[in-house]
Chain A
Amino acid sequence: MNKKETEFDRGTVLSIFSSDRREDLMALVLALVIALVVYLAY
């Protein structure tokens, strides 16, 4: 696991984001953008 961690100097082994909270926020932003697109396009 440690060997894997050294391959990225940003983010974590499982995510490109530095923390769960940041990943959650990005997921929220992405979801809201998709919701807006669906709302406007359909």
Chain B
Amino acid sequence: MVYTRKSPALFIIGLIMLGIWGLQEASILSAYIAHLGGTKYKYAGEIATVPLYFGIFSAVAGAWQWLGRHREGHFDYYLSTAAGAMFILLIAMLVRWFVAPEIAVGSKALGEIGDTGKHLHTILGLNYVVLGILSGIIIVNVFRIPRWAENGVRLSRLGLKTGVILLGTLYSAAELKNLGGLSIVMIGFFVLGSVGLVLWLGARMKVPSSMGGVLSAGMGVCGVSATVAAAPVVQAKSVEIAYTIGTILLWGVGCMFVFPIVGHLLDMSHVQFGAWAGTGILNSAQVAGAALAYQPDGIETLKVAEIFNITRVLILPVIVLWLAVWYVKREDLQTAQVNVGRVAFEKFPIFVLGFILLFALSTTGVFAPANHYKGKYFGNTVASGFKQENLLKPGQIALLKEESVKVQRQDRKQTLQRLIDNGKVMSIEDDDILRGLINANVVSREANKVLKKAHKAVRHTAKKIKAFRDWVTWLFAFGLVGLGMQITVSSMRQAGGQPAIIGGIVGAVKAVLSLLVVILLISETV
């Protein structure tokens, strides 16, 4: 089978990308960028480089696909994915650089919604991540994926997994030390509880063991991947896998849109929301989607959510083993031999090992000096990167003085006083205490903004870490647009019947209980 379609599509995509770059270079986009935010518009740097490189690649590969002669083989198979991959990337570019900022401009024009202090697009999470997935869903359900793009769309999961592995470069040992224990306890409880609840409900509602087994893995661990991993263990039929995936996608897509809205309404901190999303949302991609939707301009929420998500993924082999033993007992397959070691080896996700490998490399300081916390380092002198214009202004200091009466904890009071006296954060310990104060939401919103400004002024990002962040953001954006292209109305309709009822009950219980646990137990910077 020859996979390359003789089509000018990829060549045209290349020209469009080069056109975007050219318009930016010729300053023709300046007026439009001023409309989208002017100096606050963050993507001018990306537009100056990304479409140039990918535009050249697309134009060259596109000319070959359009005019060349193609034979069956590895070269044809893998290069044929370029059209679909660049199609996804172009959508991600357009949505991130133009569509999402345009919607934000329109939303801001409407004013803040009620007492929330937030605009409509923030509350609904209408950012480039959600809009990218929506674009994918619209394309696949309204227009169909073009034939020339079909093979490349199957690269989206590779993008997500690569993003997860690279995320390992953005963790420090201190973060995992603090968050790991909490995530293990929470995830352990909710994963085992969800699997157990699905199996129990499945038995009560008399669904087949294979159906209950595969649904429990999907609902408990990490969605589609877990479903695929557990399916052969419980000898699930293809229709049961489809039902499970349909249930997970329906529930997961709903959660991805609803979680950020609830998070904004409850004014949850990044850590709280990350922990909740990483625990309560089923599928890895949708965890990332919700986290990025909640905080599109930063990666703190995503990092917390992914630690919880990774912890959950790590439990997959345990669940697979549990299901293997449960299924054999349930079906009374006395003759079947379950090799525990072999099942664990075969089902362990390698990309999780990759994440751990890059985390280990990052911890050694190979990417950034060891004192660069979270890839950022503390510096409150000019020599260490502090800019004098970032000293707090008299009005800001007066506001902090006024708000300081609300602060009860002694260490926070003293730290705040030092900030007021010096106009800048004086030590890394002070900075950590101030971050705790910010996350606790003790002072007013305006005062919190001043504290955040003071915090940002003494934190400087390492260049390598910034580059890794950009890669992770783009890989996730790519993967999630592609994910949208795999969500068909028919796959969601397949969630009908008992699996959907069981999935709905377990998903709702997990979401609500994990929200309560997060709000009760997590209130500080972790």
Contact = CB atoms under 8 A, between A and B. Distances in A.
A27 B154 CA distance: 13
Contacts of B224: 14
Interface string A15-29: 111001101111110
A8 B12 CA distance: 25
Interface in A1-42: 1-2, 7-17, 20-21, 23-28, 30-32, 34-35, 38-39, 41-42
Contacts of B471: 34, 38
A27 B354 contact: yes
B161 A24 contact: yes
B467 A24 contact: no
Contacts of B77: 10, 16
B377 interface: no
Most A C-beta atoms less than 10 A away, residue of B162, B224, B229: B162
Contacts of A1: 238, 242
A15 B479 CA distance: 12
B349 A16 contact: no
Contact of A31 (B150, B166, B228): B166
Interface string B346-376: 1001110110011001000011000000000
Interface string B464-495: 10011001000000000000001000000000
A31 B367 contact: no
B238 A14 contact: no
Given A20-B229, A27-B161, A15 B464 contact: no
A2 B242 CA distance: 10
Given A38-B471, A42-B463, A27 B238 contact: no
Contact of A2 (B238, B350, B351, B464): B238
A27 B169 contact: no
A24 B238 contact: no
B78 interface: yes
A34 B225 contact: no
A15 B353 CA distance: 20
A40 B242 CA distance: 44
B514 interface: no
B463 A35 contact: no
Given A28-B350, A39-B366, A20 B151 contact: no
Contacts of B358: 31, 35
B158 A15 contact: yes
B238 A26 contact: no
A23 B238 contact: no
A30 to B, nearest CB: 5
B502 interface: no
B150 A7 contact: yes
A21 B350 contact: yes
A21 B85 CA distance: 21
Contacts of A15: 154-155, 157-158
Nearest to A16: B154
Nearest to B152: A16
Nearest to B471: A34
Contact of B350 (A13, A25, A38, A39): A25
Contacts of A20: 225, 228-229, 349
A3 B378 CA distance: 57
Nearest to B246: A1
B462 to A, nearest CB: 9
Interface of A: 1-2, 7-17, 20-21, 23-28, 30-32, 34-35, 38-39, 41-42
Question: Closest 5 interchain pairs by CB?
Answer: A24-B350, A27-B161, A31-B165, A28-B354, A27-B162
Interface of B: 1, 77-78, 81, 150-151, 154-155, 157-158, 161-162, 164-166, 169, 224-225, 228-229, 238, 242, 346, 349-351, 353-354, 357-358, 361, 366-367, 463-464, 467-468, 471, 486
Given A14-B157, A28-B351, 11 more contacts: A2-B238, A10-B1, A14-B154, A15-B154, A16-B78, A16-B81, A28-B165, A30-B158, A38-B464, A38-B467, A38-B468
